[in-house]
Amino acid sequence: MVNVAIIGASGYSGAELLRVLSSHPGARVRKVTAASSAGQRVDALYPAFAGQYDLAYDELVPPGLGGIDVAFVALPSGEALKIVPALRGKVERVIDLGGDFRLKAKELYEKFYKRPHTQPELLASAVYGLPELNREAIPAASLVANPGCYATCAILALLPALKHGVIEPAGIVINALSGVSGAGRSASVDMSFAEINENVRAYRVGAHQHIPEIESVLAGASGSPVSASFVPHLLPITRGIYATTHATLAVGVSAAELITMYREFYAPHPFVRITQGIPQILAVTRSNYCDIGLAVEPRTNQVIIMSVIDNLVKGAAGQAVQNMNLMFGLGETTGLK
């Protein structure tokens, strides 16, 4: 049995970890922590967990973590820079759901996250936790950087086409729409019901922190520099991401040939499904699946790739549990289907 601590378990990603792990046959949540909710019971903050967890939130980094096998850090980016070094002396395995260890270049982190990176020595050892890309490296990792939600959706959409040289690596355009839970649980006017309801808007155009993550991971996987224009949007829904990606074809190929290529590429990977038609968010809600649809537009010599995930599951907690399963030799799908 894998003994789990969730650091920052009062936020949406932390609560989703609690939901996923509540029925996991090979793991038990032994410790939950939170800064603002310390001392409060889990089922008081989240009544849905009544009868499932007899736990109260501890201080953010409790002094006692004996017997814990893995700690999930479900905190906003920037917080893990302070938390992870303190955990590494107490817990052998750490999975960070924030963005602090996803980029190998300290300079890229500081440019897009707008803060200094105070733990650059950990960047080289952190393994990027996308199982469809790094399944061989994840089991031995002591620190896994869980991918960003938008990045997961975009990278899975583009990975086979780039690795097979089917598309040009420059000039890729990604338009992605996300539910508001991706912004976290903290209150703000911009995320209020009156501002979000019956509305769609773009944000952080050309400056989103997932841009260097998408480009650098895809460049490393394909062996060529990748440039992508990425525009995120907010949708008036709670959860889900829908990404529509446009790329120029490098070779002549039909939609049927692309579908075959993608299905063969992802055949060993249980959580990526290639659809015959157009994917939709409702098909992946509360699941760890990424659904991908493909179309070819001969008039413009472009491929159009549509990908959908649940931002709180495959984009956060579910993928983190998928990584945990690989790290501890459990079946990859355990607790996730």
| Residues forming the active site | 149
Q: Are 292 and 269 in contact (CB under 8 A)?
A: no
Helix axes 12-21, 318-327, angle to 10 degrees: 50
Alpha-carbon gap, residue 52 to 196, rounded angstroms:
32
Spatial separation of the C-alpha atoms in residues 55 and 18, rounded to whole Å:
11
User: How distant, in Å, are the alpha carbons of 19, 115, 170, 174 from that of 226?
Assistant: 36, 25, 6, 13
Q: Measured between alpha carbons, how far is 303 from 104 in angstroms, rounded to an integer?
A: 30
Q: Which residue type, as a one-letter code, is found at position 53?
A: Y
Residues 303, 75: Cα–Cα separation, whole Å:
36
Phi then psi for residue 176, to 5 deg, are: -130, 140
Nearest partner of 214 among 102, 138, 309, judged by Cα: 102
Task: In whole angstroms, give the CA distance from residue 129 to residue 157.
Answer: 16
Cβ distance 160 to 223 under 8 Å? no
